[in-house]
Structure 1
Amino acid sequence: MSTGPAVRRGPSIVVAGGGTAGHIEPALALADAVVRRRPDARITALGTERGLDTALIPARGYPLELIPPVPMPRKPSGDLLRLPVRVREAVMRVREVLDRVEADVVVGFGGYVALPAYLGARGRVPVVVHEANARAGLANKVGARFAELVAVAVGGSGLPGEQVVGMPLRRSITGLDRRALRAQARQWFGLPPHGPVLLVFGGSQGARTLNEAVAAALPRLLGAGIAVLHAHGRNGTPAPPARGYVATPYIERMDLAYAAADAVLGRCGMTTVAEITAVGLPAVYVPLPHGNGEQALNAAPVVAAGGGLLVDDAELTGERAAAELVPLLTDPGRLAAMGRAARSSGHADAADRLAHLVLDIAGHPGLPPGQDLWRADTRPRRTGPDPWLQS
């Protein structure tokens, strides 16, 4: 006897982006975008007890499944000899999770959580790789070999078949109305209500050069009527107190900081570049002097579009900072033009683009408002270029 049509369950999406905020935030931004498109979606995040996973992921309302960490040794050591055993343990744990949540797709964002996620999903569940930086890390290089989709924040990652979608960002940034929040934001930080404001932040790494340059340039900045909001880092040193200078170790409300500012002096990690371009702020980017040079590459498209300037770390003195920033911040026409160029070079809709692609691969495309979420999906799997990526 017929019992009626089977009820189709919602999509089950597993995201793997643990460890650092740079891996976790885009994973959570994607999760938010998926749920906006498919309220019936079930999101599961993979992470470890290391890093920020246990603090950030549950706070956003998503279940966290812990797997054994698999850090990649940088030098020959005993950890390198134990690596195969650790990988095998983590992969088995990933497979247990995938089976239990009936995963439709695994989306990885790099880092030591992504590698076992890719290996555990291989041959079982479709894999989507997202690479945030201009140069791909080891985990994503492995995952890209068998991924159904390789999405990147900027082109030239070296991963096969890359498609540029941008960096998924949280809605509080992509939907920010800087003009509407300007007065509230300046009052929040104790900044002057009128006149230009420079926002300075260097993240948890490499803030010393920025801090020293700001301290040396501060008299010229303040003398030109430019107020400064300076996040100097938890272990960093602020400039001496002065009227119009607001120093803080860390900025919790980055949306308000962007709303208060007219330009930015900072590093160029991919999340930073993506947020600054999404809100349409001109910036002077100072790449970290170590690593593989990826930070300069992250900012290159923005600089080429006229939305930012690039200054080497070794060249950022107080004199150079003042020479770049004072003419910029005292020229409203130039600020506006660079802000427009910055916004045009970014991908504020990256989270929605990626959500569209992920749901398509999962076989659960997002449906228009008001349409039955439980209808059977008969659309064939996309095999050609996606129209979202041609715009």
Structure 2
Amino acid sequence: MDNPLSVVVAGGGSAGHVEPALATADAVRRLRPDARITALGTEKGLDTRLIPARGYPLELIPPVPLPRKPGADLARLPYRVVRSVHRTRKVLREVRADVVVGFGGYVALPAYLAAASMRLPIVVHEANARAGIANKVGARFAREVVAAVPGSGLAGARVIGIPLRRAIADLDRAGLRAQAREHFGLDPQAPVLLVFGGSQGARSLNEAVAAAVPALTAAGVWVLHAHGPKHEPTVEAPGYVPVPYLERMDLAYAAADVALCRAGAMTVAEVSTVGLPAIYVPLPHGNGEQALNARPVVDAGGGVLVPDAELTGERVASLVTDLATHPDRLAETAAAARRSGHAGADETLAQTVLEVAAGAGRPAAASGRRA
């Protein structure tokens, strides 16, 4: 086509916004190889590294962080919004945008306002259990609103899960198990606990795991522990494998039998989709959102919730050994986790985007086919 379908994804600012945006972009490209896809982002955060690395053009716009308290930042907010919307409108005109897909965060609000002012169709995806301000605004103008879990606060939102990259959504844990165990130097047969608290680690998880290692290794459980680059491990033991950071999360998931982790939206989505039983430890501050993220998986039998204040080495050792050393119970929990996941969220959202574009006058028939 001389004028191919132009899709703009607005999900910059953090990996939790960027990754679903890029997974959706990948799915749109599979369904419509002729589509032109542009990503909006900012100079802050991971945008300038993650987005170009995935092969998508990145257009930088001024971020619009929304102050939570009165002050100078709040007074400057109108100017920042106007400046960012003006820049975004320029980008949308240059790429001849047909539809804008927003995922919340710093770039979503100006994207929604710019698209609405140009009467471009909008699709909103909310990853968290409680919608942020940007998506609440965007939902007022959107043709379609979708969410990861029920109860996001966006009226009429259709629950589809979180779009994930295919390396995770299609992960064959059993098929990669031997390769993954060898990659990390883990025992090929022993049960393995995977511990991670995000890219920087998590102090309470680190402390609890250090206290649990003697009991875990005595029970024959190996521990793969991503402790964070700023936190040195405080324990040494055969069967305990500490690493600062996990470059290959797919292999980490494949190597593990049980996970101990936070309950951020992306973490819950990935862990449940790959069918990994988990002990979710929500962040102890904020509005309780992380516990809500994990609740559907826990209610389905795919894991347990442990408050941060109750996380001890004894609790970790008891929960892990009770699960990891009972194959039938482990298999049942893994199956429940996988059933609660949404492995096809990326293509569900991509198809929604194409349908919205078609409703606005652009052809939605795929020139490719579903992967």
1:345 aligns with 2:344: no
1:235 deviates by: 1.8
Report deviation, 1:288.
0.5
> What is the aligned counterpart of 1:132 among 127, 130, 134?
127
Q: 1:284 aligns with which of 271, 279, 288?
A: 279
Per-residue Cα deviation, 1:122-169 (whole angstroms, up to 9, x for no partner): 042101110000000110011111111111000101112111011000
Residue-by-residue CA offset, 1:277-316 (whole Å, 9 max, x unaligned): 1111111111101111010001101111101111110000
How many angstroms does 1:11 deviate by?
Answer: 1.4
2:225 paired residue number: 230
Cα pair 1:105 1:126 within 8 Å, conserved: yes
2:366 counterpart of 1:367: yes
Structure 1's 349 and 318: CA in aligned 2 closer, same or farther, altered over 3 A?
A: same
Q: Check 1:368–1:86 CA distance in 2 against 1; reply closer, same or farther (3 A cut).
A: closer
1:30 aligned onto 2:27: no
Correspondent of 1:102 among 96, 100, 111: 96
Name the counterpart of 2:239: 244
Contact 2:191 2:222 in 1 (8 A): yes
The alpha carbon displacement at 1:75 in A equals 2.0
Distance in 2 of aligned mates of 1:313 and 1:21:
23
- Once the two structures are TM-superposed, the CA of residue 370 in structure 1 deviates from its matched residue by 7.3
Does 2:43 correspond to 1:44? Answer: no
Distance in 1, matches of 2:38 and 2:68, equals: 30
| Residue in structure 2 matched with residue 178 of structure 1 by the alignment | 173
1:145 touches 1:160 (CA, 8 Å); kept in 2?
A: no
Q: Tell me the equivalent position of 1:325.
A: 320
Q: Name the amino acid aligned to 2:93.
A: D
Identity of aligned residues (%): 68
Paired with 1:47 and 1:325, the residues of 2 have a C-alpha distance of 40
Look up the equivalent residue of 1:323 and give its one-letter code: S
Work out whether residues 133 and 294 of structure 1, in 8 Å CA contact, stay in contact via their aligned partners in 2. Answer: yes
When residues 307 and 370 of structure 1 are mapped into structure 2, their CA distance, relative to the original with a 3 A threshold, is closer
Question: Are 1:267 and 1:285, in contact at CA under 8 Å, matched by a contact in 2?
Answer: yes
2:78 corresponding residue in structure 1: 84
8 Å Cα contact 2:194-2:258 kept in structure 1 = yes
The offset of 1:74, in angstroms, is 2.3
Q: How much has 1:366 moved relative to structure 2?
A: 4.5
**Mapped partners of 2:291, 2:232: distance in 1:** 25
Give runs of aligned pairs for residues 161-200 of structure 1, distance below 5 A: 161-200=156-195
Distance 1:329 1:365 in 2: 47
Question: What is the CA distance between 1:369 and its match in structure 2?
Answer: 4.8
Show the counterpart of 1:335: 330
**1:317-337 residue CA offsets vs partner (Å, 9 max, x unmatched):** 111111111111100111100
Partner Cα distance (2:268, 2:6) in 1: 31
The CA deviation at 1:204 is: 4.0
Give per-residue Cα distances to partners, 1:161-192, cap 9 Å, x unaligned.
11101100000001111111111101101111
Q: Deviations over 1:36-74 (max 9, x none)?
A: 111001110011111111111011100000111111122
Q: Cα 1:23–1:369, aligned 2, differ >3 Å: closer, same or farther?
A: closer
Q: What stretches of structure 2 of length at least 5 have no aligned partner?
A: none
Aligned to 1:382: none
TM-score of the two chains, using structure 2 as the length reference: 0.96
Offset at residue 368 of structure 1 (A) = 6.8
Over aligned residue pairs, what C-alpha RMSD do you find? 1.4
**Match for 2:350 among 324, 348, 355?**
355
Length, aligned pairs only: 365
**CA–CA distance in 2 between the matches of 1:99 and 1:253?**
38
TM-score, normalised by the number of residues in structure 1: 0.91
Partners of 2:21 and 2:55 in 1: CA distance: 13
How far, CA to CA, are the matches of 1:365 and 1:265 in structure 2?
A: 42
Query: Corresponding residue for 1:258?
Result: 253
- TM-superposed deviation, 1:113: 0.6
1:239 Cα deviation from its structure 2 partner = 3.6
**Cα offset, 1:81, TM superposition:** 1.2
Alpha-carbon shift at residue 241 of structure 1 (Å)? 1.9
Deviates more, 1:358-367 or 1:299-308: 358-367
Number of the residue aligned with 1:202:
197
Inter-CA distance 119–183: structure 2 relative to 1 (3 Å threshold): same
Contact 2:253-2:274 within 8 A present in 1 as well: yes
- Bigger Rg, structure 1 or 2: 1
In structure 2, give the amino acid aligned to 1:347. Answer: H
Distance 2:83 2:225 in 1: 44
Q: Distance in 2 between matches of 1:176 and 1:236?
A: 29
